Amino acid sequence: MVGKKPTCFSNDWNFSGPVFQSLEILDRPAGLAQDARLMSEQTDKKSTAFMEALASLCKRRGFIFQSSEIYGGINGFWDYGPLGCELKRNIKEAWWNSVVRQRDDVEGLDASIIMHPKIWEASGHVESFTDPMVDCKKCKGRWRADQLPETKCPQGGPHEFTEARKFNLMFKTFVGPVEESSSVAYLRPETAQAIFAQYKNVLEVSRQKIPFGIAQIGKAFRNEINPRNYTFRSREFEQMELEFFIKPGTDAEWHEYWVKQRLDWYASIGFAPDHLHQLVYGKDELAHYASACVDITYDFPFGTQELEGIAARGNFDLSQHQKFSGKSMEYFDQETKEKYIAHVVEPSAGVDRIALALLCEAYSEETVTDEKGQAETRVVMRFHPRIAPIKVAVFPLLKNKPELVAKARGVFEALRKRWSAFYDEAGAIGRRYRRQDEAGTPFGVTVDFQTLEDGTVTLRDRDTMRQTRVKVADLAGRLAESLE
């Protein structure tokens, strides 16, 4: 359940203030004991401090920036800087590899964002993709009806709320030069519907047989009333969705299979298993056409929240498209000679939410002693090597020794052919290590005077800070053990 601290919709074009502006507080049971409440307040403060430290690092190191920051930002939109876009790319690669490339039974799709508006009628989004919303008649602020503000109206006295009304979350636009109702189109609020619309084409060209799946990664847009918790609930985000088409009656076993597959994938990219949970929907919480749904949730500092939903959706979507398009969505099973509309299991994940969860998972501060014996705080992003934006950084010990620089550049050029690598010769070596710790680079390679004598370099491990000497010729092999 989403929480109680509201943010006002009317300020959207004037986003300013701390990046982590609106902490979402999870609903707590009524009648909470006083000391428990105090503890929760302390926990809330801690989580705000953690998220502010993380957001500050993300800005400082180029993971995440506010969209349009030079104009004051725009609420619910974010840009990923040099490290952030590598991080997202690695998440998408890991997903695509696991869901498409390593399987015989899943095909890929890359569909357009704007599609025929009938798609959204068939899917039910035009009619019911809504949140209840109320306005204040005095200050014109707008809130979700379940997240009303406890504060007074800025115009004085209490807010004067309108009745709750439905607010459709799809962004509307017009196709072609004329702005009229017949040219209305929508920015897709999910990638899934294009998969259903192209199901027959993919089935035909790939010559797959049921069970098989179609996967897609791409942008989705939702005009969320309260974007919040940093990038967690945004208005523009990326989804990774799989529609796995199955024979009716096999829903439960395939649903169980995909929940397990997806949990294994999260472990493979560095999530601690005890930070992930399964939220199993009760029969009375399911959509009328669904037979099962499990959310994979993560312990964010601001509460346990959804990363991915895995739903057994029956044949609702294909049946709707058959009805609205007039095109048959039936499948003919050559072996059993049966005709049916396939059922579907849908694992649907958000790239930005996974990126935020990985940033939370990775962030750590520890006290270490520097070269002069002084205690200092080391901020280190402990990303899993497969996910880390930069895999290896290469340093010449001194930048004013051409023989060290030439050798280090050579090592760097060789490594960058295979992995995202970074070359840095600026400043003391300790500072260079710290910069890479903040970027989450798992390995640092230093070329020093011994390299010129025996062809070895030091290989520094980000997490233990231990350094070992490795022959340049063995370097790629050593890195590959962790990176591939």
Residue 144, strand partner residues: 133
What is the closest distance, in whole angstroms, from the C-beta atom of residue 232 to ligand GAP in the complex? 6
Question: CB-wise, 224 or 251, nearer to ligand GAP?
Answer: 224
Q: Are 153 and 138 a contacting pair, CB within 8 Å? A: yes
Q: Is 107 in the site for ligand GAP (CB under 6 A)?
A: no
The residue range among 274-282, 305-313, 360-368, 422-430 that interacts with ligand GAP, by the rule CB under 6 A, is 305-313
Q: By Cβ distance, which residue is nearest to ligand GAP? A: 350
Task: At 231, give phi and psi (nearest 5°).
Answer: -90, 0
Among residues 350 and 444, whose Cβ is nearest to ligand GAP? 350
270-278: Cβ within 8 A, 24+ apart: 270/358, 270/361, 270/362, 270/383, 270/384, 270/386, 270/387, 271/298, 271/357, 271/358, 271/361, 272/361, 275/299, 275/361, 276/307, 277/304
Binding residue (CB under 6 A) for ligand GAP from 24, 241, 361, 448: 241
- Contact segment (CB under 6 A) with ligand GAP among 209-217, 229-237, 381-389, 395-403 equals 229-237
- Smaller CB distance to ligand GAP: residue 99 or 459? 99
Question: Is there binding between residue 192 and ligand GAP (CB under 6 A)?
Answer: yes
- Beta-strand (E) ranges in 89-135? 106-109, 130-135
Q: Shortest approach of ligand GAP to residue 233 CB, angstroms?
A: 4
- Residue closer to ligand GAP by CB (options 225, 411) is 225
Q: How far is the CB of 191 from ligand GAP (least distance, A)?
A: 7
Number of residues that bind ligand GAP (CB under 6 A): 18
CB 234 within 8 A of CB 227: yes
Q: How far apart are CA 443 and CA 210, in angstroms?
A: 44
Is residue 243 at the binding interface for ligand GAP, with CB under 6 A as the rule? no
**Would you call 416 exposed, middle or buried from its count of C-beta atoms within 10 A (0-12, 13-18, 19+)?**
middle
**d(Cα 323, Cα 329) in Å, to the nearest integer?**
9
CB-facing half-sphere around the CA of 173: CA atoms within 13 A: 14
Residue among 222 and 407 whose Cβ is closer to ligand GAP? 222
Smallest distance, ligand GAP to C-beta of residue 308, A: 5
222 binds ligand GAP (CB under 6 A): yes
190 near ligand GAP (CB under 6 A): yes
Which region, judged by CB under 6 A, interacts with ligand GAP, from 6-14, 105-113, 120-128, 230-238?
A: 230-238
Of residues 343 through 382, those in contact with ligand GAP by CB under 6 A are 348-350, 352-353
For the CB of residue 149, give the shortest distance to ligand GAP in the complex, in Å: 21
224 touches ligand GAP (CB under 6 A): yes
> Considering beta carbons, is residue 348 or 467 the nearer one to ligand GAP?
348
| SS3 state of residue 434 | helix
Smallest separation, CB 59 to ligand GAP (Å): 19
Please provide residue 428's backbone torsions phi and psi, each rounded to the nearest 5 degrees.
-65, 150
Give the list of residues 6+ apart from residue 475 with CB closer than 8 angstroms, or none.
411, 415, 445, 457, 459
- Tell me if 24 contacts ligand GAP by CB under 6 A: no
Residue closer to ligand GAP by CB (options 313, 432) is: 313
Block residue for tokens 């797959």? 208
The residue within the footprint of ligand GAP, chosen from 136, 292, 307, 362 (CB under 6 A), is: 307
Asked if residues 216 and 108 have their Cβ atoms less than 8 Å apart, the reply is yes
Which phi-psi region, left, alpha or beta, contains residue 176 (left: φ > 0; alpha: ψ -120 to 50)?
Answer: left
Return residues touching ligand GAP (CB under 6 A): 190, 192, 222, 224, 233-234, 237, 239, 241, 306-309, 348-350, 352-353
